[in-house]
Amino acid sequence: QIKESATLTRDVLEQHFSDLKGTLKKLLDERLMSLLQEVDVIEQESIKPLDECQKLIEHGVSTADDLLREGESAVDGDVGQQNEKLCNFTKKAFHIQLDSLPEVPSLVDVPCLSAQLDDCLLTILKNQIFRHGTVASRPPVQLEEFVEKPGGILVRWCKVDDDFIPQDYRLQCRKSTASHFEDVYVGSETEFMVLHMDPNVDYQFRVCARGDGRQEWSPWSVPQIGRTTLVPHEWTTGLEGYSLSSRRNIALRNDSQSCGVLYSKAPTYFCGQTLTFRQVLFGIETVGQPDRRDSLGVCVEQRNGDDSLQRDKAVCISTNGAVFVNGKEMTNQLPAVTSGSTVTFDMEVVQLGPCSNEGGNFKLRVTISSNNREVVFDWVLDQCCGSLYFGCSFSYPGWKVLVF
């Protein structure tokens, strides 16, 4: 692990600083090109009027030189032509303004280009570069526990750096055959239920955190392998009153007039596990209209013809919060099931042996929780049950329940 992580860290550092050098060179080249273009523009705009002034002066000097030679020719000519040449010379001299010069800017008004380069940039860059990047021997958070769930894994993690104050966590997962990790959770909790996982397949997990008030994420934890051997919970297909999601873990009570109990596809709930039902928002309605027969729960066997789980060999909670054991309502009651409610069932074996005075030889300790309240009771059965079915029944459309 040490050698592998050290090699990976070296590769990351080398690639990062190589990218930085390439980016810095590109930025410096772009800045140099911009400054050179600025010099070219100033030079062209400033020298143009001076060039025009020089041309005017050179033209005046050339004209004066021509007139001078013409005057010398008039003086040196013979007497017969001298008067005519002097007359022409005089006329031309009057028309040419030899004392007119273009306005020449003073020296202080003529641009004198220079480059101002602040040497403190190197100092700033040097200080920033020397503080850029850190090497952590241990990430501030690590994966702590994997709990198998039907068709999923409950992943827990913990903070291992006492000085680190986390604001958010980021959990990623990838299948053993996949090449890239994908985000499955970002938030402040320290556990998350990862669903829709294939049983008996290895998945790799890693987690990181973001410090309080920071934007960047911490280094990743040491990747760990998790798997579930439990098949996912699924509702039975084909019951007319219910529509199922593609993974068959969400059941929607549709507007069919047919009613009855929707059971699980198989007895996939085992003692020692937690079975969770969650009401899901559906359209504009929060939940459907309640009925006293509505219920969520577990049972020993599927039984056709019933319109509710409020029967023998079953424990359930109705939508108004009443708890039924083998068809009898308990005095203890839980909060009503509403939009977004989560109901959990936990069971453990507390007695397994010969028949007791109660008429049963198998007793389960049942805990039903809803909206931060719970009831605990013993469920006596006349047969040993290694696994149980789960089910639901709703009389009116609009109820939508997820099971996991």
Is residue 286 situated within a structural domain? yes
Largest CA distance in the chain: 165
Query: For the chain, first and last CA: distance in Å?
Result: 35
Q: What is the pLDDT of residue 355?
A: 47
Same domain, 221 and 303: no
Same domain, 173 and 214: yes
Is residue 71 situated within a structural domain? no
Q: What CATH number corresponds to the domain at position 193? A: 2.60.40.10
Q: What is the pLDDT of residue 305?
A: 84
pTM reported for the whole predicted model: 0.59
Same domain, 211 and 286: no
Same domain, 247 and 185: no
Q: What is the pLDDT of residue 353?
A: 57
For 204, phi then psi, to 5°, come to: -105, 135
pLDDT band at 70 (very low <50, low <70, confident <90, very high): confident
Q: Does an H or E element contain 45, and which?
A: helix 2-76
Q: What is the pLDDT of residue 388?
A: 93
Same domain, 246 and 209: no
CA distance 363 to 379: 6
Same domain, 279 and 349: yes
CB 153, CB 197: distance < 8 Å: yes
**Domain count within the chain:** 3
Same domain, 248 and 185: no
Residue 284: pLDDT above 50? no
**pLDDT tens digit sequence for 174-187:** 998 888 999 999 99
Mean pLDDT for the stretch of residues 9-24: 92
Same domain, 283 and 324: yes
Scanning the structure block, which residue is given the tokens 């029944």?
393
Residue 201: pLDDT above 90? yes
Q: What is the pLDDT of residue 214?
A: 83
Nearest partner of 251 among 393, 130, 88, judged by Cα: 393
Neighbours of 219 (CB within 10 A): 19
Residue 327 sits in which domain range?
Answer: 242-403
